[in-house]
Structure 1
Amino acid sequence: MGSKLLFFTTSFLIGWFFQWVGLPAGWLLGALLTGMVWSFFIDKLIFRSELFTLSLALVGVVIGFMVVPEEVWAYRTLLPAFLLSLVLTLIGGIALGKLFGKWTKLEGNTAFFCCLPGGASEVIALSERYQADQRIVAAFHTARITLFVFSVPLIVGVGSRANAVPIIEEPQGLWADGGLIGLAFCLAILVFFLSRFLSFPGAPMFVAILFGFTAHQLAVPDYAMPNVVMGMAQVLIGSLIGMRFDRKTVKELKRIGGASALTLLLYVLMSIGLALIFFVLSPLPFYTTLLAIVPAGAAEMASTAATLQLDATVVATLQMLRVLGLFLALPFLLKWFAKKPIKS
């Protein structure tokens, strides 16, 4: 327990320092780097998956405070562009899986599950049922998520900085800020317990956004959630993702060879291309579309949007819809592209 507390304290301090010196998405990147360094050189710590659920809920509560109902209704105009990007994402993931299998000589199901664009935990678990090499699937998805969480916020932060307005947090009083922080954690804990009864993709964040929005509109309409709450959520997320990227992951990727690095690079380029298509077809700024379209986590991308003063609500909405769309399409993808497991 003591070592985990020390780890999170260190992650928070480094994340705060990165944010203070002006590094884009400093909370997230500082914690991510801390987790990676800690797992490689200090100690490999194991955390329960519920802790990530809590961080999702915390991000959702903060985004709920930012929701403007009129803007949410306007998101319906984005549906055609989103559906096109979803279809292209699925096609791109399947094509990358075919190339990945050809380059590495991996068994077909292993390459297929490696390149499915999203829902890493569920995809990894499902891959075992189809007799894929779960170690390689887990290593590839860990590397994919780590790469996106590191590179995309950095790209968006640097690219959007020229037009950014400095974030000035309005003083609300120490008691008000303390009460809002307590409210955010109480709502996140409530969502955490309720999420056990909700099985649809993105449930914790979706419910947390509703709770945060309701609390803001009905209880504290004149107050904004302190920025440090999103910072703490990003520290949790970055720390957990960074800790997963360990020596074992690198060993599995090395076993595959350079094809894994090339496939990951193509994943990034594909995501940027899809964001460009979405940008052309929608009224959203390019960097918002990039955060909304990349096959990475909703919490990571939405929290980055919030800290960079982009539209975190639309980013969270489209990311959750992407994951939901993937799981609706998954039975058909498995039927068409995955080999049926051999019954023993």
Structure 2
Amino acid sequence: MAMIKVLMLSIIGGYIFSKLHIPIPWMLGPIVVLIITQFIHKGELKWPRQLGDLGVVIVGTGIGLRFNIHLFESAGFILLYMFLLNVILIGGAVGIAYLISRFSKMPLRASVLGAIPGGLSQTVLFAERENIGEVGSIFYFQVIRLLLVVMIVPFIVAGQAAGQTGDAKFSVSLVFIIAMTWAFSVFMDRIHFPVAQFIAPIILLIALQLATPLTMPQIPGLVMVIAQLFIGAQIGLKLTPEKVQLPVRVLIGGVMSALALIALTLGSSFIMSFLMDTKFTTSFLSTAPGGIDQMVLLADAVNADISIVSLFQTSRLLFIFIIVMPLLKAIFRWREKKERIYEQKTNVEKVNV
């Protein structure tokens, strides 16, 4: 019953937003309606994580089927631009985290983990493994960033050309491909590959296109609508009343951090647009600090280059998990060691006195 309620609310939200001509309505509608519902409705609301994951797999499959493999012909320049933009974004995020930590009185390392635009679940898991006490605040920062980006960014790029109508036909081959990408994403998730539900289908389908002459099917618009609804329902249930039972400074700090990150990526998108001669929508959505699946869905809705957006969004996630997280871990260890030495020194001095 709890799942049926979420499904009906999501459909209502998607329908209303589609009538208002809001971008990616079948994702934004469920998010907004479910957030509001949770603060006024005391009953149980549930949505299986597997359905949300399936929605992400479908989106990843759609991107993989339409990925422009000719981008690899200029891979050297693209890698250079991705590295440059990642350094700017992560460096800026750390600077924002420092200012927010001063305002919110949060420890710097918790503020940094809250500000870094990476995967929500992986960041929270990292915080737990590092025994950081402010896991709740970090989760709130990540959730509020995701929600604000998903709700604000569409209006920044609104007014652009509408995306494809999705008049492709449903076929048995498409069902087989989705099943195959789902299985591959489950395998990649088990070996702890970041955001496997989205990235794994793209990797698999690019490999198939490069290795075989097979003609790939396209995903019908109705299937993408269902995927949006599944994702929107999952995101909409993340911000529960319990999650906002934090000090007012932390609550305000989370909003300020998210808005500052959006402003930072807006500025960096002009750098990307200049370097690569891309449209504003493509460069902004490539750098926006939202979930990779949501930004690619939005890119599709406004006719941005989904291949470039997915490449740059994926590169940021990999940059965070391969370079930034290990670096943060080493810094945290160094600071803990330094603090222990200082405490020992202080205790010895007290004993001598």
For the pair 1:228 / 2:222, whether they are aligned, the reply is yes
- Within a 5 Å distance, the mapping from 1:47-86 to structure 2 comes to 47=47, 49-86=49-86
Residue in structure 1 matched with residue 26 of structure 2 by the alignment: 27
Residue in structure 1 matched with residue 329 of structure 2 by the alignment: 334
- Whether contact under 8 Å (1:181, 1:226) holds in the other structure is no
Q: Give the whole-Å Cα distance in 2 for the aligned partners of 1:252 and 1:72.
A: 46
Residue in structure 1 matched with residue 265 of structure 2 by the alignment: 271
Identity of aligned residues (%): 21
Give 1:255 shift.
5.4
Question: SS of the counterpart of 1:267?
Answer: helix
Give 1:50 shift.
4.0
Residue in structure 2 matched with residue 202 of structure 1 by the alignment: 195
- Which stretch of the first structure deviates more once superposed, 270-279 or 15-24? 15-24
- Whether contact under 8 Å (1:278, 1:289) holds in the other structure is yes
Give 1:75 shift.
5.0
Larger RCO (alpha carbons 8 Å, 6+ apart): 1
For the pair 1:5 / 2:1, whether they are aligned, the reply is no
Aligned-CA RMSD value: 2.8
Residue in structure 2 matched with residue 130 of structure 1 by the alignment: 131
TM-score (norm 1): 0.85
- 1:312 maps to amino acid: I
Residue in structure 1 matched with residue 292 of structure 2 by the alignment: 298
- Within a 5 Å distance, the mapping from 1:86-97 to structure 2 comes to 86-97=86-97
Gaps of 5+ in 1: none
- Which stretch of the first structure deviates more once superposed, 316-325 or 103-112? 103-112
Q: Which protein is bigger by CA-based radius of gyration?
A: 2
Q: 1:253 to 1:115 in 2, by over 3 A?
A: farther
- Within a 5 Å distance, the mapping from 1:121-270 to structure 2 comes to 121-128=121-128, 129-158=130-159, 161=160, 164=161, 167-170=164-167, 176-177=169-170, 179=172, 182-183=175-176, 185-212=178-205, 214=208, 220-221=215-216, 223-252=217-246, 254=248, 256=250, 258-270=252-264
- 1:35 maps to amino acid: L
Q: Runs of at least 4 residues of structure 1 off by over 6 A?
A: none
- 1:134 maps to amino acid: V
- Whether contact under 8 Å (1:271, 1:290) holds in the other structure is yes
Q: Give the whole-Å Cα distance in 2 for the aligned partners of 1:318 and 1:114.
A: 21
Gaps of 5+ in 2: 341-353
Give 1:299 shift.
0.9
Q: 1:275 to 1:74 in 2, by over 3 A?
A: same
- 1:182 maps to amino acid: V
Q: 1:199 to 1:24 in 2, by over 3 A?
A: same
Question: SS of the counterpart of 1:153?
Answer: helix
For the pair 1:280 / 2:281, whether they are aligned, the reply is no
Q: Give the whole-Å Cα distance in 2 for the aligned partners of 1:331 and 1:210.
A: 24
Q: Give the whole-Å Cα distance in 2 for the aligned partners of 1:78 and 1:322.
A: 13
Residue in structure 2 matched with residue 120 of structure 1 by the alignment: 120
TM-score (norm 2): 0.83
- Which stretch of the first structure deviates more once superposed, 128-137 or 287-296? 128-137
- Whether contact under 8 Å (2:63, 2:306) holds in the other structure is yes
- 1:107 maps to amino acid: P
- 1:8 maps to amino acid: L
Matched positions, count: 333
Give 1:58 shift.
1.2
Give 1:138 shift.
0.8
Q: Give the whole-Å Cα distance in 1 for the aligned partners of 2:34 and 2:322.
A: 33
